[in-house]
Amino acid sequence: MSNAAPSQPAVPATPEERYRVFRERRDLAAVQPQGPLALVNTQWVDAEQAIWGVPGRWAPAPEGGLLVTAEATDGIVVDGETVDGTVRVRGKDDPLPSSIVFDDHTTGFVIAGEGGAYALRVWDSRSEAIESFGGIDAFPYDAAWVVTGTFREIEGGTTVGFEHLKDDGATRDEVVPGEIRFTHDGVEYDIAAFKSGRALQLVFSDATAGDSTYSVGRFLFLAPNADGSITLDFNTAILPPCAFSYNFNCPLPPKQNRFPFPIEAGEKNVLAKDGSLLL
């Protein structure tokens, strides 16, 4: 019997190989049971109401989240227990958010919005979008689009108003913790990236938007380097969730993040199996 240790998967050695793995993981993430293609409804609840596609009556909960009223025969399971009566469903803003199961392929959770509003999101792992999905179209890897810029932290951060696709021009303030600058073709750009967990999220558009790439824009996640620089690898630019489902409400690029030149790197569009645009 051999005592040799089991072989470990090879770590991608080159930027091109790492990019290939990144692309494979992005396609896989898109079709997960609560991936972007599975979202079939986001419905805001401001009074007792039915919600399209799922059973029960839903209403705001005075202490936050939503109340669902249903009979056991409706088959709604909240936090592992079948609902038979009225149950509070905690939102994602709660330290212990609730899980919801409607059947073997339909799940949900509650999200918080502006002014204490809550919505139910419904996910279907057999959605039409998942069934039709052909892949995420992307540019080939291009080392020229790995750009080094500078990052200067702003003590206490500042705020920038970001419009969202479905907010009719209203803005939501996001915390911008520092100043990011980079140079392209001799022109310096000062851009705004807001906090997203431990990373920074850049919402941008460029001259390819609405032509070879998704018209609303794209996302790029960043992290400052210890030496005060920051790397913008546009090969890892991704499509926003609203490119996969109309039930998302995505931030739009602020003026300073709308680049007049084409960035031919990163993701382009979501495609159906026949090669057409999925949305």
Closest CA to 213 of 264, 272, 150: 264
pTM of the model: 0.91
Residues 223 and 259 in one domain: yes
Residues 58 and 183 in one domain: no
Residues 139 and 268 in one domain: yes
Query: CA-CA distance, 216 to 228, in Å (whole number)?
Result: 30
Residues 66 and 183 in one domain: no
The 10s digit of each residue's pLDDT in 160-199 is 889 999 888 888 889 899 999 999 999 999 999 999 988 9
Cβ atoms of 275 and 134 within 8 Å: the answer is yes
Cβ atoms of 82 and 74 within 8 Å: the answer is no
Cβ atoms of 205 and 253 within 8 Å: the answer is yes
Contacts of 76 (CB under 8 A, 6+ apart): 54, 55, 56, 68, 70, 82, 83, 100, 101, 102
Q: How many domains does the chain have?
A: 2
SS3 81: strand
Cβ atoms of 193 and 180 within 8 Å: the answer is yes
Query: Which residues of the chain fall short of a pLDDT of 50?
Result: 1-2
Phi then psi for residue 80, to 5 deg, are 85, 0
Which range of residues forms the domain containing residue 75?
Answer: 36-124
Examine residue 67 and state whether it is found in any structural domain, yes or no: yes
Residues 148 and 113 in one domain: no
Residues 150 and 245 in one domain: yes
Give the model's pLDDT for residue 4: 54
